[in-house]
Amino acid sequence: MHELSLIHSMVEIIREERDKHGMKRILRVRVVNGALSGAVSDALAFGWECMTQEGDLQGVALEVVDAPLQVTCGGCGKPFTPEDKHYMPCPDCGEILGHDIVSGKELYIDEIEADLDESVEGAEHSDDTATKTGD
């Protein structure tokens, strides 16, 4: 189950972002998991639960958003969402090979929702702030 090592890396990134942006307490983390990323969403959730039972991230909610596979046909160039990730006939021309993957391989932390540390100098913010990490 390689999802545990993925979660371990995500926890390290989240802590770095927390410190960098003066976050007081992490409330929620949203992760985008593409259909071809190789990670199983339920296993990510289980790994998160295991790795955050104690410590500074205890009680932080993890939201896993499944990103569908989207391709552009190698024959006619039309974008489509295949029903199967192994057999992908184009719904327009029937071409089954040579498609370009537009999305579905991604796995990233999309958002970290947190309370900010009010002692951070020069920071103008509300009590709750969401930080996009994919920018």
Segment 82-132, tens digit of pLDDT: 999 899 999 999 999 999 999 999 999 999 999 876 654 444 443 444 545
Q: What is the mean pLDDT of residues 33-40?
A: 96
Q: Is the overall model pTM greater than 0.75, yes or no?
A: yes
The Cα angle at residue 89 between residues 84 and 90, in degrees rounded to 5: 115
pLDDT tops 90 at residue 135: no
pLDDT at residue number 116: 78
pLDDT at residue number 107: 97
Q: What is the mean pLDDT of residues 1-20?
A: 93
pLDDT at residue number 118: 66
Question: Three-state DSSP class for 24?
Answer: strand
Please state, rounded to an integer, the average pLDDT across all residues of the chain. Answer: 88
d(CA 106, CA 101): 11
| CA-to-CA separations, 50 to 7, 76, 84, 108, 117, in angstroms, rounded | 10, 46, 31, 19, 27
- Locate the domains of the chain by residue range: 3-67+105-132, 69-103
pLDDT at residue number 2: 86
Instruction: Using CB atoms within 10 Å of the CB of residue 88, give its burial: 0 to 12 exposed, 13 to 18 middle, 19+ buried.
Output: buried
pLDDT tops 60 at residue 13: yes
- Write out the CATH class of domain 3-67+105-132: alpha beta
Closest CA to 18 of 112, 122, 121: 112
- Give the burial string for 62-79 (b: 16+ CB within 10 Å, else e): bebeebebbbebeeeeee
The token pair at 115 is: 């309370």
